[in-house]
Every structure is written in structure tokens, then in C-alpha cells.
Structure 1
Amino acid sequence: MSSQQKALVLPKKQGSFELSSRSIPSPGAGQLLVKIQSAALNPVDYKIKDAGIFVTQYPAVLGADIAGIVEEVGEGVENFGKGDRVLAHGKFSNDFAAFQQYTLTDASFTAKIPASESFDSAATVPLGLDTAVVGLYGDQLGAGITRPWTKSTDADESKTPIVILGGSSSVGSYTIQLARLSGFYPIITTASPSNEELVKGYGATHFFDRNLSGKQLLAAISEVTDGPVKLVYDAISLPETQSVAWELLADNGTLVLTLAASVKENEGRGRRVIQTFAGPHAAQNEELCSSSWAMVEKWLSDGTIKPNNYEILPNGLEGIIGGLERMKLGQVSGTKLVAHPQETQ
């Protein structure tokens, strides 16, 4: 194996992506070296490029969604071997990023891919699923509800409504599926009308057009449930969706956001707003995400979690540049874009 690999690099803050060469890293204790077959794109990738957020050292390799083959196993790793097909959640660190041909992964946030799934479908899972997991179950960065995989089946959330704004997004789709696992009912979501069947396939019990105003949505939801909406997960989190979410949220309820809050908590109604952050490597998330990652292979194998629909980008790593531009322009809906780093010319 060569000591060099191809990588898509951001040479400077708010710069332009370029194809480059960098050394293949070696795994340390608790780590794996993975030959990346599929890397999925996320909105955070173009936001890092455009706004210069999250990343502090340049040149930088981006990308969090990894699927590939274990090439080398670090010291102390017992449950993975060379040749295993795996998916993993990367991080904002060049040796652990997705937009290159080889990467390191933390064994705690890596899972085997069951035979029923491809590298491409598996690559759609890590960041979206972790954002849903932390947003729902995180004590500090989430709503702090009971984890359904660590308790008996009599679900605490039974007959409790949940509203998920943006159900066809990657984060929205995994939030719907976890809400089903937690026993929420009804599971109410919004999306474009063209994605109604998609979100119902994930487990939404009720669908409403994302273009409804807060008042219209509140009226529609009141016909579905008379229970107070104590939990809203806004997977889009733009100011306009946040204002709709805030209108729906009952007293003492929790609004979970994926972006910074534009609504204010100071209304004396006991409602709280939480901006989640899905990095499993963050100290607040390590224990929760280690626990959920131990379930990922089983969830994918038995269909508890269905990966996102996906579209393959051409031209290996170079295809990521155009893919991120399409995402930024709002030209991708209900689908994850996936690149094949090994196909880079």
C-alpha cells in the first residue's frame, strides 16, 4: 500500500476546495484505519467552507460520514478485524475526516455493516443518526428522554405526541425512526408534499405540508391529538421553522434545534430551547453515543433503522464540490449525496 492518498482539501479558511495528496495515517490505541468506499455529504460541510466555522487548522479535510473496509486495527481493538465492512462517524480533524481515500476512526463510534446494506446506504447513517440520538436522549445537548435501547419495552413516551419539522431531511428521518422506537404517538412531521410517502415509510403517523403557517399547523395538529406537544424537534432550524415550532410548543416543553436559536425563552411558560451538537467525540456525548453505536449494526440488520435514499456523485472526491453547491442551492431533497473516494482520477 502506498504511503500517500488523495484528499479533497480546503487550503485556507473560506477558501476553495482542491484535490491534494496527504499521508495515510496509522491507527493508535482504540482506532481503526479504514479505506473509504463511500463518503456522504452534509450541510455542515458547505457551512464550514463558507463561514469558516468549527475548523481551526488549515489545510483542512472535511466530511463526517464514512463507510469502508478496515485496513488496520489499532492496539486494544477487539471487535473489528482487517477486511470488515464498517461505517463510522468522523470528526473535524484531518486524519479522521471522510473526504479522502483513507481515514482513522474511533472504534467506539464505528459499527459493522450488515450484509443487507451497501457502503453507499451505510454512509448515509452516522451524522444524521447521531444528531437525532443526541437531540432526543442527550442530557446536556438534548431533550434528555429515556433511551429506548436501555430499558424494557413498555415505552415511557407511549401516547405522547412529538412534532418533527423537516422529516425528509437526514436528521428528520432518523428522528422519526427513533421516535417510533421510543413509543411516541402520534409522530407528526412536516415535509414537501412530494416526500409524504417517504416520511410515512420512516414511521411518521401524520404528515403536514411544510408550507403551513404555525397557526395552520397548530389547528391541524389539534385535530390529530388533544395531548400537549411537549417536544418539537426542528431538523431544519431556520428562523422561519423555529418560529413555527415555538408556536406549537406547549408550556414546559422542549424545542430541539440543529442550529443556533433565533427564538427567545423569556416568556415565563417554562419552555426551553436546546441547540444540539452531534459530535460523538465531545465529552458530553461520549457515553451516550458509545451506547447507541453498540446498537447500530443490529438496528440496520433488523430494519429498526432504515438508511436514507442516496444519489452517487461522479468523479470521486472531485464530485463533492458540485454536490455541496447543489445542497447549498436547495436542489437536493429527501436524498443523501454520496461520493466514492477510490474513483478519484
Structure 2
Amino acid sequence: MSVIPTIQKALVLPAKYAEYAVRTVPVPRPGPGRLLIKVRAVALNPVDWKIQKNGILYHEFPAIAGSDIAGTVEEVGEGVQGFALGDRVIEQGAFTIPTSGFQQYAVANPAVTAKIPDGLSFEQGATIPVGLITAALGLYTRGLPPGKELDHGSAGLQAPWEEGGRGKYTGKPFFVFGAASSVGQFVVQLARLSGFSPIIATASPHNADFLRSLGVTHVLDRKLSLEQLRAEIAKITKEPLDVIYDAVSLPETQLAAYELLEPGGTLVLVLYSAIPAEKLASEPKKRVVKAYGQANFPQENLAVAAVLYKHLTAWLEEGAIKPNRVEVLPGGLEGIPEGLERLRTDRVSGVKLVARPQETA
């Protein structure tokens, strides 16, 4: 195992609203109960450009972003079991400098770290953590406070990793808006593990074959109007849509999803609700929740994520969970800002942008 350096390259946000820049910073140390990961690949997410452009999440600077991390274990903190030096792993950063992925070394929480099979590249592995946990937390988290609309919430389904959970919802239809998005792809795969069928999804037609390979049974053009969607759904199933996951959560998709949802059902969003208040008030039996895609906190999320991560390696080996398709950005950390601008301006479709921090000049 290589000697751990004391300094490293990182993509730093020097101040709120400042531009990202590559700087030299200290290598964090793991401490008891933590791992040190050499970051071989880090995937980009919309939250990373929102941190910079909208000034969210970080209040102390300089700051480092990046949540989707794949790499090798370089140091095992006191008390950590189940991991050894050199293990190939994936994990999710927690919006703190030591745990963030836009750097060459990061500290990881072993409770939400999983080994990845040899047949999976670091780049593929880095596409998994944020998308998968956002999908899972929106579907399966339990014990959340009651309410129609929450900062974070869940459909409260029985998870496929629980006894009797795999295949539990056989014969029940499931609808996903934006199935080709990173989150949408994992929603589809979890819905398949849960047994839902048919799995109906909106997407661009050119992504149809790929989505069928993940478990979608019927792909509907994302440009269809609400009435056209109703007509197509009626051809597919007469069963009520009790769970709809809107993985894009644009105002128009939210409203369409809410209209299609059965009274008593749950609509899961990835952004805050843009459904008019009068519409929500007119159909009070429909529940709207927002998935919060962070495995490390709050405690309800960590409890779900820790169990999911115990099953994740086996699911990856089985092929039950497959990574997103990858586009590697050139230049290591230097390539990330341009990638974030592409995300911000909606110039990415059907792939996950990934950087290799170790290639930073």
C-alpha cells in the first residue's frame, strides 16, 4: 500500500458564490470509526453546482463539494471492522470538507460504505451512491413524522431487503417520471426488486431500450400531455397508481403526477413541491413527500442506508442493481467546473459525469 501523503489536490470553493478552483489542501485523517479513501472516481450531481451558484449547504469557507465517491481503502480507523487496506469501495460524502469527493482523499463512514465487485469500474461505482439512496429513501424510509408535505419523506413501502419485501408488490403498477435520470434509473431497479409490474416510465424515446434493460415495461414519451398519458396508462393497466416517483420534479411533471395519483397514494419528489396550494387542498387524500438524498443524516436516513449498504455488494454482484452509464471528464478535478455547467444548463442526458481526481495535474 502506498504511503499516504500529507497534502493533496482538491477542487475548492473559496467563498460563497465564488468560482471553483483547484488548490493544495491537507489530506484528512479518518480517526476512530472511520475510513480513509483514495478517491479514484467522483461523480457530479446537480447539488454541486447549486452549492456554488445558489450558496446552499455550506456556511464556512473554503469548502469542498462532491458526494458520489469510489476508491480504495487507504487507512482503517480504530474499531472499524469488515474493511481492509486496498478494498475497492463506494460511499457517499456528507457535505463536510473531510468527507467530500472533489479531492484526492476523503474520510468515509463505514456504515454506508460498500465493497464493489471486481467487474465494476471505479467510474461506474461512483454513479451509484447518491442516485440509489435518493431512490431508496423516497420509497422505503419509515418512522417519519406524519404529514402531507415534508422537507424529507417517503412512500413508506416495505423494502426489498426486508424479509418478505423482495417481490412484495407483484401485480401493482408503478409510475416513474424521468426514468433516464440518475435517480430515475435506480427508482426503476428498486421498483423491480419490490415486484411492481407494470413499471411505466416517461423518458426520451432514444432511452427506451436501455430503460427496458433496467426493468421498465412501458416507456412513454416524456413530451406527452397529461391527457395523452392518461390514455396510454389506461391501455396498460386498470389498477390505481398508488405510488408515483417524479425523478425530475419540474412544475409540469409534478402537476401531471399529482393528477394521475390515486387518492390515498403518495407522490415522491426530488425537489420541493411546485403544486399549487389550491390543488393540494382540493385533494387532501393525496400525499406529497420530498426524498432527501443523503445517507449519513438525519438518523432515519442513516438507519435505512446502513441496511441497504449491507445488501448492496451482493446486489451488484447479482446484477440486480446496475450503475448509470458513464462519461469521464478529462483533466481530473480541473474538468469538474465545465461538467457542472453542463448539468446546470441541462446538457447531459442518460449518462453520469465522472472525474478522476488522481489525474489532476
Give TM class, smaller chain: over 0.9
Residue 250 of structure 2 is aligned with which of 238, 245, 264? 238
Instruction: Show the counterpart of 1:37.
Output: 40
Q: State the 1:268 CA deviation.
A: 3.5
Q: State the 1:300 CA deviation.
A: 0.6
Q: State the 1:152 CA deviation.
A: 2.5
Alignment TM-score, normalising by the size of structure 1: 0.98
Structure 1, 148-157 or 323-332: larger mean CA deviation: 148-157
Offset from partner CA, 1:173-209 (integer Å, 9 cap, x none):
0000000000001100011111111111110011000
Residue 66 of structure 2 is aligned with which of 45, 63, 67? 63
Give the counterpart letter for 1:124 in structure 2. Answer: T
Q: State the 1:298 CA deviation.
A: 0.7
Structure 1, 20-29 or 104-113: larger mean CA deviation: 20-29
Structure 2 stretches of 5 or more lacking a match? 145-152
Alignment TM-score, normalising by the size of structure 2: 0.94
Cα distance in 2 for partners of 1:120, 1:319 equals 15
Q: Once the two structures are aligned, what percentage of the paired residues are identical? A: 46
State whether structure 2 residue 231 is matched by structure 1 residue 219.
yes
Structure 1 stretches of 5 or more lacking a match? none
Instruction: Show the counterpart of 2:106.
Output: 103
Cα distance in 2 for partners of 1:267, 1:76 equals 54
Q: State the 1:155 CA deviation.
A: 2.9
Q: State the 1:277 CA deviation.
A: 0.3
Q: Secondary structure at the match of 1:286?
A: helix
Equivalent positions of 1:80-119 (< 5 A) are: 80-119=83-122
Cα distance in 1 for partners of 2:165, 2:49 equals 40
What is the root-mean-square deviation of aligned Cα atoms in Å? 1.1
Conserved? CA contact 1:214–1:243, under 8 Å = no
Q: State the 1:312 CA deviation.
A: 0.6
**Where has structure 1 moved over 2 Å in runs of 4 or more?**
152-156
Q: Secondary structure at the match of 1:223?
A: helix
Residue 177 of structure 1 is aligned with which of 189, 214, 218? 189
Count of equivalent residues: 345
Give the counterpart letter for 2:193 in structure 1. Answer: L
Q: State the 1:68 CA deviation.
A: 0.5
Q: State the 1:214 CA deviation.
A: 1.5
Offset from partner CA, 1:209-248 (integer Å, 9 cap, x none):
0011122111110110000111110000111111111111
Q: Secondary structure at the match of 1:255?
A: strand
Cα distance in 1 for partners of 2:106, 2:125 equals 16
State whether structure 2 residue 169 is matched by structure 1 residue 157.
yes
Conserved? CA contact 2:133–2:293, under 8 Å = yes
Conserved? CA contact 2:166–2:194, under 8 Å = no
Offset from partner CA, 1:276-327 (integer Å, 9 cap, x none):
1021111121111000011111111110001000011000001001111111
Cα distance in 1 for partners of 2:61, 2:256 equals 38
Instruction: Show the counterpart of 2:339.
Output: 323
State whether structure 2 residue 294 is matched by structure 1 residue 279.
yes
Q: Secondary structure at the match of 1:178?
A: helix
Instruction: Show the counterpart of 1:193.
Output: 205
Conserved? CA contact 1:215–1:247, under 8 Å = no
Q: State the 1:166 CA deviation.
A: 0.4
Give the counterpart letter for 2:81 in structure 1. Answer: E
Cα distance in 2 for partners of 1:288, 1:272 equals 21
Q: State the 1:124 CA deviation.
A: 0.4
Conserved? CA contact 1:36–1:67, under 8 Å = yes
Change over 3 Å in CA distance of 1:15–1:153 after alignment to 2: closer
Q: Secondary structure at the match of 2:201?
A: strand
Residue 134 of structure 1 is aligned with which of 118, 128, 137? 137
Q: Secondary structure at the match of 1:196?
A: helix
